[in-house]
């Protein structure tokens, strides 16, 4: 069962180990975000979640700008809302039922799930910070933070996804 936020039939799922620290996100449900909800989370929780949503929007914009003029517009008007092809999942990936494309955020999360090579798992490192499974259908990448996933690393991630 997927737990998180996003469109009804996402083609691209991002798995994250934590949730926004607000009561509303502590329940095991899956639903689309409401317009303005990303801004509300950032306003209530601070810079950490703002960075996560911003990096997610930058990646989504690189992959398909959906006709928006900027990643900020995509974030504010489409990302994780009804009809979005993206999902942010608080549940771990089910390796037997992956979305067409899935990301796992952070080596620590991959280790805790037993998915990295070091923990005896099936993910294989492509370069520091990036590991893949099933021909790239599941990619472990750095956490969505500007320092860990710079613009150059975002471009590399885009190439891995499109390969």
Q: How far is CA 71 from CA 68, 76, 93, 99, in A?
A: 7, 9, 26, 23
Tens digits of residue pLDDT in 99-158: 889 999 999 999 999 999 888 899 999 999 999 997 789 999 999 998 888 999 999 999
Tens digits of residue pLDDT in 6-37: 999 999 999 999 999 999 999 999 999 999 99
pLDDT at 49 over 90: yes
pLDDT at 1 over 90: no
On the 0-12 / 13-18 / 19+ scale of CB atoms within 10 A, 43 is exposed
Tens digits of residue pLDDT in 50-88: 999 999 999 999 999 999 999 999 999 999 999 999 999
At residue 98, the pLDDT reads: 86
How many structural domains is the chain composed of?
A: 1
Give residue 26's domain range: 4-162
Task: Report the candidate in 114, 102, 117 with the shortest Cα–Cα distance to residue 157.
Answer: 102
At residue 147, the pLDDT reads: 87
- Cβ neighbors of 123 (< 8 A, separation 6 or more) are 104, 110, 115, 116, 117, 131, 132, 133, 138, 140
At residue 97, the pLDDT reads: 87
- Cβ neighbors of 130 (< 8 A, separation 6 or more) are 139, 140, 141, 142, 156, 157, 160
Residue 15: φ, ψ to 5° = -100, 125
């Amino acid at each position: 069962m997927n737990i998180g936020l996003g469109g009804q039939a996402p083609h691209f799922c991002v798995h994250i180990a934590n949730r926004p620290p607000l009561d509303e996100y502590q329940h095991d449900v899956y639903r689309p975000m409401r317009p303005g909800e990303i801004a509300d989370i950032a306003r209530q929780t601070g810079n950490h979640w703002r960075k996560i949503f911003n990096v997610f929007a930058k990646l989504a914009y690189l992959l398909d700008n959906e006709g928006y003029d900027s990643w900020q517009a995509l974030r504010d008007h489409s990302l994780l809302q009804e009809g979005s092809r993206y999902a942010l999942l608080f549940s771990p990936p089910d390796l037997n039922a992956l979305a067409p494309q899935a990301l796992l955020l952070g080596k620590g999360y991959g280790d805790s799930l037993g998915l990295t090579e070091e923990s005896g798992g099936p993910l294989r490192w492509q370069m520091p910070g990036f590991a893949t499974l099933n021909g790239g259908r599941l990619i472990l990448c750095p956490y969505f933070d500007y320092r860990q996933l710079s613009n150059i690393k975002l471009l590399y991630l885009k190439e891995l996804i499109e390969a």
